[in-house]
């Protein structure tokens, strides 16, 4: 069983423009609205890949109801905690040259009582054949040690955890020893006190050290530079697949979803890498934050190139 945890969901509003004119008038070419938030994106992709999950976290207000209705329409299982206030709207501005500008709202304040309600849900789900996907930011009122606390709690029940977070959330959760991680170049560089100009060789060293000390499996997404995978002793790099990019939003979430599906299906390491690369590449060909179709992912699997590190 896969449980995705989205503490700060959003209605994703993706706006397409020619070239963004800062401080000037911009005429919108196209607008997409999607039920979003990193964990929800993971659940949507898991469904497209032919597997299933339970999406949980916090929802509130009209935006929360819209997200719940969208997931119900797709016949996805959910178990959210409802809070006061309004689930946020995140605006993503996509330019025709591929540049992406994101305007992410903070989300509602979540009380300690509601946080305890969510933790109780997660503890009830936790058992040896359960994978929790902890991804994305947290709303106001939630401390940055929340993911670390969840990891320790569900580990006591024998459950596994896939982490996809950044900043203090990443740092605190890493100390708790997640079973799998899906950082991107910037997140791993920030953890090491570097910027995004970090070289692949340095990333390799940092990821290797993190794997040895804190996590058994790491999928490191690097955008147009492809990805690196550290799956036990299996360490490889894959160039990005040559696909037409519509939007890079959600590509990392698709890779996390593929990693979760591979765990559920007990895929071997090469199958895992191919699925992660194909799902991520498929995601960038879609508009908004829509997941790739299973057919597209299957067609891309054979295009994945694997290079030993």
Q: Cβ distance 89 to 103 under 8 Å?
A: no
For residue 253, which of 221, 286, 299 has the smallest C-alpha distance?
221
Reduced to 3 states (helix: H, G, I; strand: E, B; else coil), residue 244 is coil
For residue 111, which of 148, 147, 142, 138 has the smallest C-alpha distance?
142
What are the percentages of helix, strand and coil residues in the chain, rounded to 5?
Answer: 40, 25, 40
> Is 268 labeled as catalytic in the residue annotation?
no
Strand 2-6 to 180-181 pairing: unpaired
For residue 49, which of 302, 307, 306, 300 has the smallest C-alpha distance?
300
Strand 77-78 to 160-164 pairing: unpaired
Q: Cβ distance 260 to 268 under 8 Å?
A: no
Residue tagged active-site, from 12, 34, 164, 253: 253
Strand 160-164 to 131-135 pairing: parallel
Whole-number Å distance between alpha carbons of 244 and 282: 9
Whole-number Å distance between alpha carbons of 80 and 258: 23
Within its chain, how far is the Cα of 307 from the centroid?
24
Which residues are catalytically annotated?
A: 253
């Amino acid at each position: 069983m896969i449980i995705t945890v989205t503490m700060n969901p959003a209605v994703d509003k993706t706006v397409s423009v020619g070239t963004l004119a800062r401080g000037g008038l911009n005429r919108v070419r196209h607008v997409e609205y999607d039920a979003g938030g990193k964990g929800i994106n993971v659940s949507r992709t898991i469904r497209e890949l032919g597997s299933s999950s339970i999406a949980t976290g916090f929802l509130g207000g009209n935006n929360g109801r819209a997200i719940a209705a969208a997931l119900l329409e797709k016949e996805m299982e959910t178990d959210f905690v409802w809070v006061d206030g309004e689930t946020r709207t995140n605006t993503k501005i996509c330019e025709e040259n591929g540049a992406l500008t994101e305007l992410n709202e903070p989300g509602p304040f979540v009380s300690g009582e509601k946080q305890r309600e969510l933790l109780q849900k997660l503890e009830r789900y936790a058992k040896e054949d359960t994978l929790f996907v902890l991804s994305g930011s947290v709303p106001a009122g939630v401390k940055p040690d929340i993911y670390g606390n969840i990891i320790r709690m569900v580990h006591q029940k024998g459950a596994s955890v896939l982490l996809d977070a950044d900043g203090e959330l990443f740092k605190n959760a890493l100390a708790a020893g997640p079973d799998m991680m899906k950082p991107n170049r910037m997140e791993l560089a920030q953890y090491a006190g570097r910027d995004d100009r970090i070289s692949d060789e340095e990333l390799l060293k940092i990821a290797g050290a993190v794997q040895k000390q804190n996590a058994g499996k790491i999928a490191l997404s690097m955008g147009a530079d492809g990805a690196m995978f550290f799956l036990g002793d299996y360490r490889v790099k894959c160039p990005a697949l040559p696909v037409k990019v519509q939007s890079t939003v959600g590509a990392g979430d698709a890779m996390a979803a593929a990693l979760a599906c591979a765990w559920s299906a007990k895929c071997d390491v090469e199958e895992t890498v191919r699925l992660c690369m194909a799902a991520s590449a498929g995601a960038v060909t879609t508009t908004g934050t829509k997941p790739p179709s299973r057919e597209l992912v299957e067609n891309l699997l054979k295009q994945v190139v694997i290079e030993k590190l």
